[in-house]
Structure 1
Amino acid sequence: MTEQPRPPAPPAGEPSVQGLFVAFEGGDGAGKSTQARLLGEWLTAEGRTVQLTREPGGTDLGQHIRDLVLHGEDVAPRAEALLFAADRAHHVESLIRPALQRGEVVITDRYLDSSAAYQGAGRDLGADEIRDLSLWAVGGLVPDLTILIDLPSVVGRQRRGGVHDRLESIEGDFHERVRQHFLDLAQRDPGRYLVVDGELAPEAIQQQVRERVRAVLGVSA
């Protein structure tokens, strides 16, 4: 059987169809959900139509997948990667791409970098292979801006207290491998990433986020 070539990664920073596509990435407990919400509130106040979503769980199907992979019985690592890719494919087709084509702003709490970091680097399934799988699933759609909130894994665990889903509860150096892979991704493509210190106050993080979003939109403060 002839091996099919891998799909090429889209150019760094290539704009989405019409709207603005922003992804928040980072380890568990970094504050992604809070920052995504704050950014959405600000852009809404600025007159933008905003879709605030998450992965997994941004659609009804995604919520079922979220319950299965994060709160259900153990799932084999390769099956886990495929389930996340399935969620992402449906998420993009049914929510993200239509919103962008309407000229809206889409803000997602996690996107394909999370699969490359968690299943690729953390699970040691091959980060490039997992990224290629996700790129195929989404038809090559990458965010205009990815905001990485960087936080030592031990701090994230302290913030979460005793509440951990199936991935959060993994011991050992899993979460440090995840963190390092996020940083490696940002270093390779600085034009499309903003790396923010997750130990800063939420207001300080949001200020940096808004400044970068203004720059992407080409508007002044």
Structure 2
Amino acid sequence: MAGLFITLEGGDGSGKSTQSGILVEWLQNSGRTVVVSREPGGTDLGLELREIVLHRRGEIAPRAEALIYAADRAHNIATKVRPALERGDVVVQDRYLDSSVAYQGAGRVLGGDEVRGISLWAAEGLLPDLTVLLDLHEDAGKDRLADSRTRYDRLEAEANDFHGRVRAGYLQLAAAEPDRFLVLDARDSVESIAAAIRARVESLPTS
């Protein structure tokens, strides 16, 4: 079997972790070997970079932030994702280059094309077979986080206008690549979202 690379994207509080867990369990029950990753933090080096970029006290310049994410991405793809895909495994990953385009390109107003170019260079051009975008209005995302967080990371703590730009950036990406993206309303039930993801995965040519 050929490998599959599936990423989950969305604003903070959109339910990516929940859907990732459900998808991984279904794939494993279907007989596939699944590798789970995330950005930032999918590798040992990534965990160190995650702590810097999300929890460091003090300012990080926007371009420096984008480059830290790119460094994490380069290592994650080279040492974990590509080897798994070459073995024929399924990689299910929480966030990928679309997060950088949305958060740093749109949210930080660095420019989506530039950030995407850096990310593609870091990942040697690798794009997912499927990107699931869980779309949620930024106000609803903040409300969900308030119910589950005692500590916010640097991006979660940003103002609503930042998260509004992030959401708009995501939707623009999905509109530009409809064959790669599956956009779902994050307000729907967990079960209906999971069913829609399974149906799309089953339709992939290499699944």
Same fold (TM over 0.5): yes
Residue 18 of structure 1: how far off its partner (Å) = 3.3
Q: Distance in 2 between matches of 1:196 and 1:52?
A: 21
Q: Distance in 1 between matches of 2:43 and 2:60?
A: 21
Residue 104 of structure 1: how far off its partner (Å) = 0.2
Specify the alignment match of 1:131 in structure 2.
Answer: 116
> Tell me, what secondary structure is at the counterpart of 1:108?
strand
Amino acid corresponding to residue 86 of structure 1 in structure 2: A
Q: Distance in 1 between matches of 2:81 and 2:179?
A: 22
Q: Is the 8 A contact 1:52 1:108 kept in 2?
A: yes
Specify the alignment match of 2:99 in structure 1.
Answer: 114
Deviates more, 1:131-140 or 1:153-162: 153-162
Please give the per-residue CA displacement for 1:107-130, whole angstroms capped at 9, x wherever unaligned.
Answer: 000000000000000000111000
1:206 to 183, 186, 194: 194
Specify the alignment match of 2:78 in structure 1.
Answer: 93
Q: Distance in 1 between matches of 2:206 and 2:73?
A: 29
Q: Where does structure 1 differ by over 4 angstroms across 4 or more consecutive aligned residues?
A: none
1:170 to 158, 164, 182: 158
Amino acid corresponding to residue 137 of structure 1 in structure 2: A
1:28 to 12, 25, 37: 12
What are structure 1's unaligned runs of at least 5 residues? 1-16
> Tell me, what secondary structure is at the counterpart of 1:53?
strand
Q: Is the 8 A contact 1:37 1:52 kept in 2?
A: no
Residue 75 of structure 1: how far off its partner (Å) = 1.2
Q: Distance in 2 between matches of 1:108 and 1:209?
A: 14
Q: Distance in 1 between matches of 2:112 and 2:141?
A: 22
Specify the alignment match of 2:133 in structure 1.
Answer: 148
Q: Distance in 1 between matches of 2:180 and 2:160?
A: 31
Q: Distance in 1 between matches of 2:160 and 2:30?
A: 44
Please give the per-residue CA displacement for 1:152-200, whole angstroms capped at 9, x wherever unaligned.
Answer: 0111110011542111101141101100110111111111110000001
Percent of pairs identical after alignment? 55
Q: Is the 8 A contact 1:23 1:143 kept in 2?
A: yes
Q: Is the 8 A contact 2:133 2:183 kept in 1?
A: yes
Structure that is richer in helix per residue = 2
> Tell me, what secondary structure is at the counterpart of 2:105?
helix
Amino acid corresponding to residue 102 of structure 1 in structure 2: R
2:65 to 65, 80, 90: 80
Q: Distance in 1 between matches of 2:192 and 2:152?
A: 27
Residue 208 of structure 1: how far off its partner (Å) = 0.3
